[in-house]
Amino acid sequence: MLASPATLAATIILPPAGGQYDSQLGGAYPPPDGVTVLSRDRTEPPVPDLYNICYINAFQTQPHEQYLWTALPTSVLLTRPDGSFVEDPNWPGEIILDTSTFEKRAALFLVTARWIAQCARDGFQAIEADNLDTYSRSNGALTVADNLAYASALAAHAHSLGLAFAQKNGADLGPQGKSAGFDFAIVESCQMYAECDAYTDVYGRNVIEIEYTDTDPRFFETACAARGEKISVIRRDRNLTMSGDPSYFYRTC
């Protein structure tokens, strides 16, 4: 059954505003010197004495985990009228999850709620639920309201376990995200898209910004000049590779 907003069962701790951040979604490695806030996949361990954020792909499948969703009693993979699956155009193999009805959201919750509970047991402090913005690439099949209803249930579940819940992208949501239960934001390329204010207007200093190496380096430089002393800002390689990989890149302001 979907969770509903309720009195929090534990104190929710947010990441330290402006703390040095690293995203290790491409694989875990010893954090760079100075890092105090860290995102890792739910299958990786948290790091003692850091603020650890547990990544879950809450709105799309991982290519190797489609079986988790096809095993559910309700069809939850978004399809076109011809029956073919709707994939993320930028991430082949990641099929968009169908949040369009209460029944489908309840079925999705059966999987993601277990992930969130495992993150709590493992010792993470927050959840990073990726691909909130699938409504923008669903060809009209999903709405903002659909995804926020699902996200709100996940946030309430996370809160009941003492975990903070991050909004991942979705600048167009404005204050709706916070109303749905998000506590802070993790945002990609907001300088390039000129949308950083949309997050800081809602979450203040509780924003983590990632700019990437496959874009103009001036975006990162401008971000640092504008916000580097207020929020967490880093520059990373697009695939968030591990230290030692030829593509690895990590910079802070």
Q: Is residue 237 part of a domain?
A: yes
Q: Is residue 241 part of a domain?
A: yes
Per-residue pLDDT band for 10 (boundaries 50, 70, 90) equals low
Tokens of 193: 């898209």
Share of the chain above pLDDT 70, in %: 96
Measure the CA–CA gap between 89 and 73, rounded to whole angstroms: 27
Q: Is residue 7 part of a domain?
A: no
Q: Is residue 5 part of a domain?
A: no
Of how many residues is the chain composed? 253
What is the four-CA torsion angle of 118, 241, 238, 64, rounded to 10 degrees? -50
What is the pLDDT, as a whole number, of residue 221? 98
What are the φ and ψ backbone dihedral angles of 9, each rounded to 5 degrees? -80, -15
What is the pLDDT, as a whole number, of residue 94? 95
Residue 5 in contact with residue 152, Cβ under 8 Å? yes
Average pLDDT, the chain: 94
Q: Is residue 16 part of a domain?
A: no
Tokens of 27: 């694989």
The domain in which residue 120 lies consists of: 24-252
Report which of 37, 12, 8 is spatially closest to residue 22, judged by C-alpha positions: 37
**In the predicted model, is pLDDT for residue 132 greater than 80?**
yes
Query: Considering its fold, how many domains does the chain have in total?
Result: 1
Give this prediction's pTM: 0.94
Per-residue pLDDT band for 73 (boundaries 50, 70, 90) equals confident
Q: Is residue 93 part of a domain?
A: yes
**In the predicted model, is pLDDT for residue 4 greater than 60?**
no
Full strand arrangement of the beta sheet holding 51-56:
21-24, 37-41, 51-56, 126-129, 164-168, 184-188, 207-212, 232-236, 250-252
In tens, the pLDDT along 234-250 reads 999 999 999 999 999 99
Q: Is residue 195 part of a domain?
A: yes
Q: Residue 95 forms beta bridges with which residues? A: 87
Give me the CATH number covering residue 178.
3.20.20
Q: Is residue 136 part of a domain?
A: yes
Q: In 49-75, which positions are buried (b, 16+ CB within 10 angstroms) versus exposed (e)?
A: ebbbbbbbbbbbbbeeeeebbeeeeee
